[in-house]
Structure 1
Amino acid sequence: MVGERGIAGLSHRAVAAAADVPLGSTTYHFASLDDLLVAALRQSNVVCLDDFARWVDGIDPEAPLAEEVARLVEDTLTGDRRRMELEYELYLAALRHEAVRPIAAECLDEMVRLLGQRIGDLRTARTVVALTDGLVLQHLLTGRPFDPEAVRAGLAGVLG
C-alpha cells in the first residue's frame, strides 16, 4: 500500500480499500495513522533484517571489511529499487512521527548487533550501518550512476 502511494497516500480508508475490508476493521486494529506506519515499518524491518542477516552470514572473514560492505551496497542498489524507496520512506517517517522512531531505532540496533557479533567490534559495526545507510540513501535521492570502485575506495579509506 505505502509502496504504491507513499506515506502521503496512507489512510485508514485506503488500507481498507486495498485489503477489501470494511473501514471499521482498519480503525479497530490501528487506532491512528501512526499505528499504521508502525505496522508498515515493522513489516519492512523483517525483510530488511532478513537480507542484512544473510549478508552478515556471507561475510568472508579473510576479505577486507570495506570489500564486503561495498558488496552489500552494490547488491542493495542493483536490487529492487521500489522496495528500497519504500523502506527508506518508512524509515525516514520517524523524523516526523515520533511513534515510529523506536521501530526505526530497533532495526538499526539489530543491524549493529548482527554485524558486531560477526566482526567483534560494535563501534565499527555502527559505523558500517551508518555508512551503508548514507551511501544507499544518497544514491536513491540523486539517481547518480553507482560507481562500485569509488565506493570500495572510499570505504577502504574509512574502514581501512
Structure 2
Amino acid sequence: MKRRQRGPADPDRRERIAQAAVTLVAEYGVHALTHRKVAAEAGVPLGSTTYYFASLDDLVAAALNKAAERSVADLREWERGLPADVNLATALADFVVRSVGEKRADTMAEYNLYALALHRPHLRQAAVDWDNALAEVLQGRTDPLTGRMVAVLLCGLLMQAVLSDERPVRSDIEVLIRRALGGQG
C-alpha cells in the first residue's frame, strides 16, 4: 500500500487504522489482529498504530466503534431510501439476505467484534448503542415494542446466517419477520 504523509497532511490516519482493523477482522478474525498487520493494511508505519492505539484492546475498541458506526450509517441510509408504503417484512428480509450475501465480510467483522463485548466490559457500550440504533430505526416504522423485538430478531437471524455455510432462504426470513410484525408488512 502507498504510504501517506504524517501530521496535518494525513488527518484521517487514525480512522484509516481503525478501518484497517475492521478489514482484517472481516478477513481473518479477531484472533489474527496485530498492530503489525493493521499497520500494513492501513499503509502506515507500525509506530502509528501504537501511537493512536497503545494496546491491542484499544485497537479492537476502535474497530468495534468503526464497524458499529458504519453499520448504523448504512442502516439509516437504507431506511431513508424505503418508500413510506414499503412492505417492511419484504424489505427487512432483503436487508438480511444482502447483509449475509454481498455484505457478508462486513457482517462477519461486525459480529466478531460484537461478540468480544461479552468478555470485555469496555466494549459493551458500543455494542448496546449499536443495538439501540437498530431498534430506533425499526421503531420509526413500527412502534417501540415491535421495533425492539424485530431488532432482536434481525440480530439473531444475522448471527445464525453468518455462522452457517448455507445461504438463508429469503422467503423463510420474510415469514419470521412478518410474524414478528404481527402479520403487518
Q: Which moved more, 1:54-63 or 1:31-40?
A: 54-63
2:36 to 5, 10, 13: 13
Q: 1:142 to 1:153 in 2, by over 3 A?
A: same
Match in the other structure for 2:134:
111
Matched, 1:136 2:136: no
In the alignment, structure 2 segments of 5+ residues that lack a partner are 1-23
Higher relative contact order (CA 8 A, sep 6+): 1
- Read off the aligned partner of 1:133 and give its amino acid letter: C
Instruction: Indicate the percent of aligned positions where both proteins have the same amino acid.
Output: 35
Matched, 1:46 2:77: no
What secondary structure is seen at the aligned counterpart in 2 of 1:127? helix
Matched, 1:90 2:113: yes
TM-score (norm 1): 0.85
- The structure in which a higher percent of residues are helix is 1
Displacement, 1:63? 4.0
- Read off the aligned partner of 1:157 and give its amino acid letter: R
Query: CA separation in 1, counterparts of 2:104 and 2:55?
Result: 29
Query: CA separation in 1, counterparts of 2:27 and 2:88?
Result: 36
Task: Say if 1:2 and 1:10, in contact at 8 Å, map to a contact too.
Answer: yes
Query: CA separation in 1, counterparts of 2:27 and 2:164?
Result: 21
* RMSD over equivalenced CA pairs, Å: 2.0
Query: CA separation in 1, counterparts of 2:79 and 2:180?
Result: 19
Query: CA separation in 2, counterparts of 1:125 and 1:139?
Result: 21
Displacement, 1:101? 1.1
Post-superposition Cα deviations, 1:59-104, rounded to whole Å, max 9, x if no partner, equal 3443443233222212223322222211111111111222211111
Match in the other structure for 2:59:
36
- Read off the aligned partner of 1:135 and give its amino acid letter: L
